[in-house]
Structure 1
């Protein structure tokens, strides 16, 4: 019987993207590397639990869920998250940032200072700049100020990010223009929280880190994994949780969050046999049945 592994997701290190497996083992990814794995035949996807604890009932979850959690574990996980505003007493300092994902796609967000730029890599931010640093609730107020005064959202759908990665402006100056202008406008706001220290405009560009230069347009996106299915492709880029894989049907994007909760195993072959959704269209089975 072949050994099976459970994937914990994609993590970003100083050296690039790493697939993390149960037990903490990591598989560093480099451009040109062939990514090949199979889903255990007859297997089902089970809840990954919450806050480091296993799901008590090992609930079966949808193959299309990016969270891979049952309703109860999802509730517990969110109840202890900064995003849910349930940690008002968190003593750690926080950064407020502006992130750019493509033309017209700028968001505001916060991240713990101790995490550095990891959150921006995880979100697939092409460029970003810090706005300020201070206590959590002051960072939250600044985030709300930008949403209310400047109509800057705090979320950009992943589908929108993926759709523009192969057609980004070619020069760094063009890629930072929108956040440069917004950063200046933020500097003129009067209601900025006093306990939040402003940061100068110092843009960071992840284009090379993600491998986006010359990236071919994606033909489709993996919609879910299925028992007995195989993913096989050459890594041409990675951004946020997404792997851009060159396959027999063109470049296909795999959201690695779909890998969690499955038992995965080594596989042979060079064909993608999991369902793929054509960009802007229908699901294609991919030859499994």
Structure 2
């Protein structure tokens, strides 16, 4: 292949999803755009490193790993993240939020106020509302309070988020119903840190931003990329790290995190030739290059 790129992942801008590439190149994605690339024949997937540093071992990582990091780089990356609770001197203000992904699927989380709604778009939140804002430790304590009192998780598997996208209620009001009730119960709880200012319920809906309105249900998801494999399809929707591609066999979801670590080039053919598996079935109501 004359040209080879390495994907750095999908980010969300004010105008929509953008694929980023090592070296600073980026590809804006719009509905109807053809997404087509080929994994370099004979190539292997290598660790993407941590915190902006290359993996010293250039370790080979599994095709199904969404992190694309070896064990050591994954440990270093997490050790310096907000989620690891190791940054006690972070002076930024944080939002606490409730995010809804589909019927029976709501989570609580925190994100730096300076990031705006980027974190919610990255997670594929269909609808969300802020709960409050304050210092990092106060936001963390509030998150723990809601997890314990309301049995709302702080993590949801992406496979479960994909499974419910084809069963979303049609109206914005209906999509905000569960969120409104949880927000009401959360605000009524005692024990909130005094330094965290509560926010009124103001739901933000991402169905239009994600292109999910009227989109066909996906028939499967890419399980991994393989050397010599081709991905080719028309972009019909995107949510979080996922691209929904229309192919000859129906809509297929590509988690762009599976692209990192591979050398990719232009697709010489249009055939879709990477492994695809059926989507997980939706679970019941929440208990406790181109």
Q: Residues of 1 paired with 2:169 and 2:223: CA distance?
A: 28
Unmatched runs of 5 consecutive residues or more in structure 2: 282-290
For the aligned residue pairs, the C-alpha RMSD in angstroms reads 0.9
What does residue 47 of structure 1 align with?
47
Q: Residues of 2 paired with 1:134 and 1:19: CA distance?
A: 32
Q: Residues of 2 paired with 1:186 and 1:71: CA distance?
A: 37
1:66 aligns with 2:66: yes
1:165 aligns with 2:165: yes
**Do the aligned residues in 2 keep the contact of 1:99 with 1:125 (CA within 8 Å)?**
yes
How does 1:78-227 map onto structure 2 within 5 Å? 78-227=78-227
Q: Residues of 2 paired with 1:75 and 1:184: CA distance?
A: 37
**Do the aligned residues in 2 keep the contact of 1:4 with 1:263 (CA within 8 Å)?**
yes
Q: Deviation of residue 270 (structure 1)?
A: 2.0
Q: Residues of 2 paired with 1:270 and 1:226: CA distance?
A: 16
Ranges of 4+ aligned residues in structure 1 off by more than 3 Å: none
Q: Deviation of residue 133 (structure 1)?
A: 0.3
Q: Residues of 2 paired with 1:46 and 1:103: CA distance?
A: 37
What does residue 257 of structure 2 align with?
257
What does residue 8 of structure 1 align with?
8
Q: Residues of 1 paired with 2:110 and 2:91: CA distance?
A: 14
**Do the aligned residues in 1 keep the contact of 2:159 with 2:280 (CA within 8 Å)?**
no
Unmatched runs of 5 consecutive residues or more in structure 1: 282-289
Deviations, residues 26-66 of structure 1 (Å, cap 9, x unaligned): 10001110100000000000000000000001000000000
**Do the aligned residues in 2 keep the contact of 1:36 with 1:268 (CA within 8 Å)?**
no
Match of 1:6, SS?
A: strand
1:25 aligns with 2:25: yes
What does residue 285 of structure 2 align with?
none
TM-score, normalised via structure 2 length: 0.96
Q: Residues of 1 paired with 2:278 and 2:95: CA distance?
A: 37
**Do the aligned residues in 1 keep the contact of 2:100 with 2:107 (CA within 8 Å)?**
yes
Match of 1:3, SS?
A: coil
**Do the aligned residues in 2 keep the contact of 1:35 with 1:234 (CA within 8 Å)?**
yes
The count of corresponding residues between Structure 1 and Structure 2 is 281
Q: Residues of 2 paired with 1:88 and 1:120: CA distance?
A: 23
Q: Deviation of residue 190 (structure 1)?
A: 1.0
TM-score, normalised via structure 1 length: 0.96
Match of 2:176, SS?
A: helix
**Do the aligned residues in 2 keep the contact of 1:5 with 1:265 (CA within 8 Å)?**
yes
Q: Deviation of residue 280 (structure 1)?
A: 4.4
Q: Residues of 2 paired with 1:257 and 1:153: CA distance?
A: 23
1:228 aligns with 2:228: yes
Deviations, residues 215-263 of structure 1 (Å, cap 9, x unaligned): 1111110000000000000001000000000111111000000000000
What does residue 288 of structure 2 align with?
none
